[in-house]
Chains A and B, each alone.
Chain A
Amino acid sequence: MNNSVAITGNSGPKVRSDCEITLEIRQNGGISIELISRVKTLYGKSIKSQCLEILSFFNIKHAHLKINDSGALPFVISARLEAAVKKLTDTTKECLPDLIPENTASTKRDRYRFSRLYLPGNAPGLMINAGLHSAEGIILDFEDSVSSEKKDESRFLVRNALRQINFYGAERMVRINQGDRGLYDLDFVIPHFVNLILIPKCEDALAVRNVDQKIREIQGKFNIKNEVYLMPVIESALGIENITEIARSSSLVVAMAIGLEDFTADLGVQRTSEGKESFYARSRLVIASKAAGIQPIDSVFSDFNDMDGLKQTVSASRAMGFEGMGCIHPRQISVIRHGFAPDASEIGKAMDIVRAFEAALKAGLGVVALGSKMIDAPVVLRAQKTLELAERLGLISCDWRDKGPEQQA
């Protein structure tokens, strides 16, 4: 390594919960630390001793360290300093913060994934409270939201976030970069109990298999047993053409998502709110997903101030068969969760149908009737699915059969 000075992290008047580290490794003179911090009185000593420990961990004996801190939590300081050390030295040692017990939880293949919140992988301020907003998943993003010169340092930050931030039961997802860079990203997240990997701009089964293989390699090396699932993101015409093979490319694939900004760019057309230009592709993705027994997930809605527009989009999306959407802002989460959940009148109708069906079974009748209408098997099946969903979302209790309809609200 040629450089003797490395700068990592962020500073500036609008930066919160982050720090900028300037590390200069020297030949002699011991360690000196210069700390500028708005929390210096409260945490000055602990920041300095934390940094000394990390430098000693990496066996650095002579250095000047400047920390421009805007209230960074310890795992952030640690990530920033490790990234700086690794810009200057060749070491394979990792300085890992404690793993909080909440973050070892595994996930289930068929859990609901209505809303998943994208978080830029190099912005700690947005990560700390992200889990409080009740999204089914949070996505720590290495790809489009991280500029190329920040890709390296974001890996340490995301790794530490996976170990330290309580996401309150949200599925912990990471969107890796494309290609080889993405495979390298996996080294930083697979050993740390990530639940699901999003594969961006996926165009063929090979891209998924490469990720699958790399994950198994890392899991073998670290003896990790928890399942890591995959969600390929389809963002091009070629991806849509190959969608069936992508859906079946790996047993780890549990969902497929569509990314409409890139998809419409690939087609050379404008993305419109009615979405005629992407209707075929979205429909294709829904059908391929359902055929493969996985969840179809819709694109993000990019105007986070337009809640009415979002509501309409969610309802159209659900009507097409999608089972979830991405979120770019926490305020979108509740709109999306409500939108994908069955409403009271749907639940009421489904209960009537299931009750009639069960009564007919009991009476040994082959034909199910509700009022003057005949009900056939697929209608019953759909009603059962609606109630199962309502039950899992806590909208109705499992003993709904014993209660009158007025008690369900």
Chain B
Amino acid sequence: MTVKTVINAVGRAVPSEINGSPVIPFKGVGKHRPKGRKYAPPIPSCADYPEDGIKLAGSLEEALRKCGLTDGMTISTHHHLRDGDLVSNTIFDIASGMGVKDLVWFPSASFPCNDPVIRYLDDGTINRIEGSMNGPLGRYVSEGRMKGTAVLRSHGGRVQAIQDGEVKIDIAVLAAPSADAFGNARGTGGSSACGVIGYAKADYMYASKVIVVTDNLVDFPCFPMEIEGNYVDCVVVVDKIGIPEKIVSGTTQITRSPDRLLIAELTAKFLEKSGILKDGVTIQAGAGGTSLAIAVFAHEILRNKGWKSKFGFGGSTRYMVKMLEEGQMDYILDAQVFDLDSVRSIETNANHVPYPVFNAYNYHSKGNLTSMMDIMILGATEVDLNFNGNVVTHSDGYLLHGIGGWQNCLHARNVILPIPLFRDRIPVIVDEVTTLCGPGELIDVIITERGIAINPLRQDLIDSVTGSGLPLVTLEYLKDEAERICGKPEKPEFEDRVVAAVKWVDGTVIDVVRKLKTE
């Protein structure tokens, strides 16, 4: 069977069909209009559920059997337990034991703790993973060893795919730090608290069957519920859903690297001098060491000027919590919680509000949060001369990261990427990104330790900092500088076979990752 390849709006050759289904090539930012109606799961009836509301199943296997686990099904999970997740792998242990084949695993992200599923990819229990892959799993896929083709989506793109019916979840298996026997569940309480479980929202609403797995069964009603029990088929109680110290970091830390701190300082100066950090600002920064340092410097500026941020969007960290508690931020809207201080805050502070990614990032909705943000601090493994960004592959062609919320966040007013010019010997500013995950028209500022490059499309930003003493340079200068120091790198060699598709926020295919040629 030959699949047609087309050149999409960013010049990438992408197939017209993935895993046997037709796909739409990327048409440009905001160009694709979806048609039709949202997907809907089958209509259930109370007649099939216990009147006393007790939906307990004796084990996860019993629940999976009850939900009709069979060949070819799509199984979804969320990643709120991060590297401490004890539930996801178990699903496939059971499936493999039952002799089920060709499942599609649809996690909101995978972590190193999920590497053991490689054996189920090997034995055919799982056909493919549609979700982020890194480490050994990324290597496995990059080398073309996974049977199906991976599909990489942003957090918002995942929700869009569920809502639009691109991915039909047969069974959602949702770990919950607290739940009642009816299936109401939340992210707090118990020994495996992760703060929020907002990533599970689209899963429980749209899946045909929903299993809640908890290690902390509470009396009805489990309140405030993030998962609503009348969407839930079974509740399973296990000893442990997660390893607490791997679910949240005890404490997130700003970078100690002097070079990264330099980049963070330069970024804070840029925010201040350009005037985009102002009273009432809305801001989002990740949990990486450099982002955290930027948050600390931005906090200082707000405090010194007597300014306040209207709200920050989490992943929350203790540095953001500090802004909230010391009065420099009115609200934290939160999709995930990164450390213990943030867990405490969301449990006790009414202005620290769970805010599902469903509402924040879904591009096929009536507006979302990201375009309302003033300042968005993001990373990238590569940026090319057209400001296009790559976050999923390493320059050597191996899958390295998931997209996370990165693509969704590109819609913010000012998208700023503080990145080192090179990592070890590997240049970050390149001729052409290995994988194009985000179009350059949405990326505004690149801040490196050796200079700041502003997208020529943002003349307003260029004007705002001209004459400010900040080291303004062009991307070409930065690329040349990187190559002068590191030497010009060779490109990895790929075969034709597509091992992963990268979706844009509207479900179109923006790029693909091909199988690496190995020696």
A8 to chain B, nearest CB (A): 19
Query: Per a CB cutoff under 8 Å, which of B258, B395, B423, B450 touches A330?
Result: B258
A38 CA / B489 CA spacing, docked (Å)? 13
Q: Are B258 and A71 in contact (CB under 8 A)?
A: no
Q: How far is the CB of A15 from chain B (nearest CB, A)?
A: 10
Judge whether B485 is part of the interface by a CB distance below 8 angstroms: yes
- CA A44 to CA B492, docked complex, whole Å: 11
A56 adjacent to chain B (CB < 8 Å):
no
Which residues in window 244-264 of A have CB below 8 A to B?
A: none
Contact B258 A45, beta carbon cutoff 8 Å: no
Complex CA gap A42/B423 in Å reads 13
Q: Which chain A positions have C-beta within 8 A of B425?
A: 17, 39, 42-43, 71-73
Name the distance in Å between B418's Cβ and chain A's nearest Cβ: 14
Most chain B CB neighbours (cut-off 10 Å) among A39, A42, A73, A329:
A42
Q: Assuming A17-B424, A43-B425, A133-B262, is B486 touching A73 (CB within 8 A)? A: yes
- A126 nearest CB neighbor, chain B only: B258
Q: Which of B397, B423, B449, B486 contacts A41 (CB 8 A)?
A: B397
Q: Contact check: which of B262, B397, B424 meets A70 at CB < 8 Å?
A: B424
User: B258, A42: Cβ atoms under 8 Å?
Assistant: no
Asked whether B426 is an interface residue with its Cβ less than 8 Å from the other chain, the reply is yes
Q: How far is the CA of A38 from the CA of B400 in the complex (A)?
A: 14
User: Could you tell me the distance in whole angstroms from the C-beta of B256 to the nearest C-beta in chain A?
Assistant: 9
CA distance A99 to B105 in the complex (A): 55
Is A74's beta carbon under 8 Å from chain B?
Answer: yes
Complex Cα spacing A100 to B397, Å: 32
Is the pair B424, A38 in contact by a Cβ cutoff of 8 Å?
Answer: yes
- The answer to whether B259 touches A71, judged by C-beta atoms less than 8 angstroms apart, is no
Q: Within 8 Å CB of A284, what residues of B?
A: none
- Report the minimal beta-carbon distance from A7 to chain B, rounded to whole angstroms: 21
Is B261 an interface position by the 8 A CB rule?
Answer: yes
Cβ A71 vs Cβ B262 within 8 A = no
Q: A16 contacts the other chain (Cβ, under 8 Å)?
A: yes
Q: Does B490 contact A (CB under 8 A)?
A: yes
Chain A CB within 8 A of B122 CB: no
Contact digits for A316-347, partner B, Cβ 8 Å, 1 yes 0 no? 00000000000001110000000000000000
B396 within 8 Å of A (CB atoms): yes
Whether a CB of chain B sits under 8 angstroms from the CB of A32 is no
Main DSSP-derived SS at the B contact region: loop
Which of B259, B261, B450, B489 makes the CB contact (< 8 A) with A42?
B489
CB distance B424 to A16 under 8 Å? yes
Chain B 380-395, CB within 8 Å of chain A: the 1/0 string?
0000000000000001
Q: How far apart are the CA atoms of A70 and B424 in the complex, in Å?
A: 7
B396/A129 in contact, CB under 8 A:
no
> Contact between A41 and B424 (Cβ–Cβ < 8 Å)?
no
Whether a CB of chain A sits under 8 angstroms from the CB of B487 is yes
What's the least CB distance linking B518 to chain A, in Å?
Answer: 10
In the complex, chain B residues whose CB is within 8 Å of the CB of A43: 425, 486-487, 489-490
B449 to A71, Cβ gap below 8 A? Answer: no
Q: Does B487 contact A46, Cβ atoms closer than 8 Å?
A: yes
Bitwise, B253-266 to A at CB < 8 A (1) or not (0) is 00000110110000
* Minimum Cβ distance to chain A for residue B259 (Å): 5
Cβ of B485 and Cβ of A128 under 8 Å apart?
yes
Residues of B close to A42: CB separation below 8 A: 395-396, 425-426, 489-490, 492
Are A133 and B258 in touch, CB under 8 angstroms? yes
Nearest-Cβ distance from residue B295 to partner chain A, whole angstroms? 18
Closest to A125 in B: B424
Q: How far is the CB of B438 from chain A (nearest CB, A)?
A: 22
Complex partner residue of B492 from A41, A45, A329, CB under 8 angstroms: A41
Listed in ascending order, the chain B residues whose CB lies under 8 Å from chain A are: 258-259, 261-262, 395-397, 423-426, 449-450, 485-487, 489-490, 492
Question: Which residues of A are interface residues toward B (Cβ below 8 A)?
Answer: 16-17, 38-46, 70-74, 128-129, 132-133, 329-331
Taking A43-B425, A43-B490 as known contacts, 19 extra A-B pairs with beta carbons closer than 8 A to each other, sorted by chain A number, are A16-B424, A38-B424, A39-B424, A41-B397, A41-B492, A42-B396, A42-B426, A42-B490, A45-B490, A70-B424, A71-B426, A73-B487, A129-B258, A132-B259, A132-B450, A133-B258, A133-B262, A329-B258, A330-B259
9 closest A-B pairs by CB:
A71-B424, A330-B258, A42-B489, A41-B396, A71-B425, A129-B259, A41-B492, A39-B425, A132-B449
Could you list 28 examples of A-B contacts with CB < 8 Å?
Answer: A38-B424, A39-B425, A39-B426, A39-B489, A40-B396, A41-B395, A41-B396, A41-B490, A41-B492, A42-B489, A42-B492, A43-B489, A43-B490, A45-B490, A46-B487, A46-B490, A70-B424, A71-B424, A71-B425, A72-B425, A73-B486, A129-B262, A132-B259, A132-B449, A133-B258, A133-B262, A331-B258, A331-B261
